[in-house]
Amino acid sequence: MSFPAKILIVDDEPRIRDSLKLLLDEQGYDVYTVSSGQEAKDILSVYQFDLALLDMVIPDMNGHQLMEHIYETSPGTMVVIITGHASLDSAIGALRRGAYDYLRKPFEFEELLKTVQNALDQKKLKSEKEIINGKLELSEERYRYLVQNSPDIIYTLDENGNFTFVSQAVKRLLGYDADQLIGKHYSTIIHDEDMERAQWIFNERRTGDRAAAGVQLRLKAAEGHEAFRACDVRHLAIELKATGMYDKPVLEPDKVYLGTHGVVRDISDRKRLEAQLQQAQKMEAVGTLAGGIAHDFNNLLMGIQGYTSLMLLKIDSKHPHYDKLKSIEQYIESGAELTKQLLGFARGGKYDVKPVDLNELVEKTATMFGRTKKEVIISTKFEQDLWAVEADQGQIEQVLLNLFVNAWQAMPGGGDLALETKNVTLNAAAVSPYGLPPGSYVKVTVRDSGLGMDENTQRRIFEPFFTTKEMGRGTGLGLASAYGIIKNHNGIIEVESKIGEGTTFTIYLPASQKMVQKDAGQEGIILRGPETVLLVDDEDMIIEVGAEILEALGYKVLTARSGPEAIEIFKANKGQVDIVVLDMIMPGMGGGDAYDQLREIDPDVKVLLSTGYSLRGEASEILKRGCNGFIQKPFNIKMLSQKLREILDNHTG
C-alpha cells in the first residue's frame, strides 16, 4: 500500500498558503501548512516530510536558516523555494545550498504541479540510488521508468570513465542519442576548458573520500542540435553530482572501485539570472559615476552659457563677435546633449513628465531625421487611437534618434527603416523577467534592413561605451542611454537581430489614462519682470552668473550658497520674496529638505527647481510635493525668463 506524499508549506501570507494547500489537496497529496519558522521547526519534530515549499521571506527567520534546519533534522526532505522578484538573488543562493528548485511569484498552477512532481520523483530516485552500492534490489523496470523520466541526465561510468548508461534526457539537453555515448569516454562531451576540473572530480571518486555535489561544468552539444542553432553558444552549463561505486560499502578499506554514477542538471536559466543580476549591478555602479560627471559638467556649461547669454543680450547680429558667441552656444548645446546621454544612462534624467502621444512624437522625430538622411526610406504604421504614455518627451525623442542613427549606420548604402506603434496587453509571464506589472502598454517597433548583429554583440549592445564603430564615429553611449531612459520610464527595450537580416528594437511603455495636452510655448521671446528672486546654489560660478542674468531681466536678486542660508534669508525677507530658484544637489541640506522647510515657513512659496542631475528620481519627488517647476542646467536666458514668468503669472498661490 502506497501513501500520499507528505508536503509542508511554509508561507506567512494566508491567501497564498491556503491556495497552495487547496490545489495540492486536490491532487491527493497530504498537505500541512505553517506561517513561521518556529511553527515549521515544531511540526518537523513530529512528522517526516517528502517535500517542503518554502517562502524565502518569513517573519521570525530567513529562508536559509530554515533550510539548514530541515537538512539537519530531515535530510531526505526535498526543498523548493518560493520567491518574489526582490529576493531572486536569495533564491539563487538557496539553490547553491542544495534546494531542488524555485518558483517565482506569480506562477501558474501547471508550473507548480510540474515542479512538485519533479521534486518528488527526484526524492524517489535519490532514495533508490542509495541502495546501488548494496546491490540494488528494486525492479529494473521501475528504476528505468524513474531514471528515463527524470528532467536531469542520469549516468554511470565504468572504472575507466567510459559511459555504461545515459538517460534519455541527454537527447533533449545536448542532442545526443543515449546509445551514441555508450562506451565513449566522458571527455567526449566535456568542454575543453573544463577538462582538467572534470578529470579531478572523477579521479576523486576512486578514493571514496567524498561525493561531489554542485560542481559546475560546461558540456559540448551535438553538432546541429536545435536548441543551439539560433545562437553562437555550443555548450550547456550544468551542475554535476558524482558518486563512486564499489564492490563493498564505502567505508571498507579494501573496497574495489567499479565506476561512478551521478546526475547532470541543466543550470542555463540560473546562470542567465546570475548574469542579469551582475549586469544590473554593473550598470548601476557605472550609472552613478556617469550621473555625477554629468552634474559637474552641466554646472560648468551653465557658467559658460550664462555669460554668453549676457553678452548676446547687449549686442545685435551686426556686432563682430555675434557669430562667435552664437557658435559658443551651439558648442554648449552639443555638450548638453552629451550630458543628457550620460544622465539617460544613469537613469536619473526624467524630469518633464507629462502625457505624450507616441504617434505624434515618432512621426515628428522620423521626419526630422529623414530630412538629413535621404538614403534611408522610412515607412510608418501607426495604430489609430493609440494610448497615451506618461514620459519625458525630450528623453523619448533622444531614444528614438539614437535608434534611428544606429539603424542608419547599419545601412551604409541606404535601406529601409520601418516604424510601428501598437496598443498591447502584456501578461505576467511577459513582464515578470523585468520586474514590471502586467497590463496595458504601448509598443514601438524600429526595424531596419541593415547588416544585423551576432549573438555576442546583442548581449553587449546596451553596455556603456561599447561600440562596433571605428574611432571617432561614436561614443558608445547612445544605446546605453536609450536602455537607461526606457528603464527609468518603467518600460522594456529589447533587440532581435541576425547577421544579414537587419535588426529590430522593440520598446514597451506603460499606457496612461491621462489626456495629451498640446503645448503653446513662446520660443525665442525674452520675458522680463520686476519681482524679487532668491537664487540658491552652492556653486559660486552659478550664483555670480545667475544673479547677473536675473538682474538683466529686471528682477531684484537675493542669493544664498546653502540650504540653511536660504532659509535664514527667506525668513528675514518673508513676504518680499516672490520666487525661489533652488538648486537640488547641495552639500549638507539638499534642495529637497530646503524646499520642505520653505513650505513650512510659507505654504504658498513659489519654487523653480534647478539642477544638472537628479539623484534617483529626487527631482520628480520634489515636484510631486508641490514644487512649481523644473529647469535643467545648462539653460539660457530665454529659457529661464519664460519659466519664471510661467510660474509667477500662472501660479497665484
State pLDDT tens for residues 111-154.
Answer: 889 989 988 888 888 776 665 545 445 556 667 777 778 889 99
Q: How far apart are CA 167 and CA 155, in angstroms?
A: 6
- Rounded to whole angstroms, what are the CA distances from 539 to 34, 295, 333, 536, 564? 59, 12, 21, 9, 15
**pLDDT of 50 strictly over 70:** yes
Confidence of residue 351 (pLDDT cuts 50, 70, 90): low
Which of 6-20, 339-353, 417-431 shows the lowest per-residue confidence on average (mean pLDDT)?
339-353
User: Which pLDDT does position 231 carry in this prediction?
Assistant: 47
| CA-wise closest residue to 487 among 504, 508, 466, 502 | 508
Higher pLDDT, 535 or 308: 535
Residue 293 pLDDT class (50, 70, 90 cuts) = confident
Q: 78 and 106 in contact (C-beta within 8 Å)?
A: no
Binned at pLDDT 50, 70 and 90, residue 652 comes out as very low
Instruction: Kindly tell me if the per-residue pLDDT of 290 is higher than 60.
Output: yes
Domain 132-266 architecture = 2-Layer Sandwich (3.30)
Identify the weakest region by mean pLDDT among 225-234, 371-380, 411-420, 637-646.
225-234
End-to-end CA distance of the chain: 81
**Spatial separation of the C-alpha atoms in residues 488 and 510, rounded to whole Å:** 12
Cβ atoms of 162 and 185 closer than 8 Å: yes
In whole angstroms, give the CA distance from residue 182 to residue 397.
59
The arithmetic mean of pLDDT across residues 79-84, rounded, is 84
- pLDDT, tens digit (0-9, with 9 covering 90-100), for 201-257: 777 766 655 555 568 888 988 876 665 544 445 678 888 888 888 887 767 777 888
Domain 532-650 matching CATH 3.20.10.10: the answer reads: no
Question: What is the domain partition of the chain in residue ranges?
Answer: 6-126, 132-266, 358-515, 532-650
Task: Encode pLDDT of 541-554 as tens digits.
Answer: 889 888 988 998 89
Contact 535, 559 (CB under 8 A): yes
3-class DSSP assignment, residue 252: coil
Rounded percentage of the chain residues whose pLDDT exceeds 90: 25
Query: Strands 388-392 and 235-246: what pairing?
Result: unpaired
Q: Pairing relation of β-strands 212-220 and 163-166?
A: unpaired
- Grid coordinates given for 434: 523585468
Name which of 337-341, 444-448, 525-529 the model is least confident about. 337-341
Q: How far apart are CA 372 and CA 367, in angstroms?
A: 9
Q: Determine the pLDDT at residue 140.
A: 62
42 pLDDT more than 80: yes
Q: What CA–CA distance (Å, rounded) separates 241 from 261? A: 8
Does 532-650 match 6-126 at the fold level? yes
Tracing cell 521671446 back to the chain, one arrives at 525
Is 48 within 8 Å of 74 (Cβ atoms)? Answer: yes
Decide which of 25 and 470 is more confident: 25
For residue 263 the three cell numbers come to: 546526475
What's the longest Cα–Cα distance across the chain? Answer: 104
Q: What is the pLDDT of residue 87?
A: 58
| Order of all β-strands in the sheet with 78-83 | 30-34, 6-10, 51-55, 78-83, 101-104
**Which whole-number Å values give the CA distances from 159 to 187, 202, 261, 307, 439, in the listed order?**
14, 10, 11, 83, 57
More reliable by pLDDT, 485 or 343: 485
What is the model's pLDDT at position 522? Answer: 47
Residue 609 has pLDDT above 70, yes or no: yes
Position 209 scores a pLDDT of 55
Does the domain at 358-515 match CATH 3.30.565.10? Answer given as yes
Cis peptide before 438 (omega within 30 of 0): no
Residue 350 has pLDDT above 60, yes or no: no
Please state the pTM of the whole predicted model: 0.43
Residue 47's φ and ψ, nearest 5 degrees, are -120, 155
Share of the chain above pLDDT 70, in %: 82
Q: What is the mean pLDDT of residues 312-326?
A: 83
User: Does 271 score more than 70 pLDDT?
Assistant: yes
Burial class (CB in 10 A: 0-12, 13-18, 19+), 434: middle
Residue 378's pLDDT is 93
Secondary-structure class of domain 6-126 per CATH: alpha beta
Q: What pLDDT is attached to residue 422?
A: 95
pLDDT in tens, 489-501: 899 998 888 888 8
Report whether pLDDT(474) > 60.
Answer: no
Between 578 and 236, residue with greater pLDDT = 578
Mean pLDDT, to the nearest integer, of 71-78? 87
Instruction: State the average pLDDT over residues 415-433.
Output: 90
Q: Which cell goes with 593?
A: 529638505
3-state secondary structure of 278: helix
- Count CB neighbours of 331 within 10 A: 12
Calculate mean pLDDT across residues 436-463.
85
Instruction: State the chain's mean pLDDT as an integer.
Output: 81
CB 229 within 8 A of CB 128: no
Of 269, 261, 271, 270, the closest CA to residue 240 belongs to: 261
Q: Answer yes or no: is pLDDT of 470 > 60.
A: no
Strands (E), 270-403: 353-356, 376-381, 388-392
Torsion, Cα of 470, 473, 475, 478 (10° steps): -110
Buried b (16+ CB within 10 A) or exposed e, 560-577: bbbbeebbebbeeeeeeb
Task: Please give the pLDDT value at position 358.
Answer: 94
**Is pLDDT above 60 for 597?**
yes
Q: For residue 618, what are the CA distances in angstroms to 170, 352, 590, 625?
A: 52, 13, 10, 11
What does the pLDDT average to over 283-299?
69
**The pLDDT value given to residue 162:** 92
Q: What is the pLDDT of residue 130?
A: 64
What is the structure's pLDDT at 124?
Answer: 82
- pLDDT value, residue 362: 93
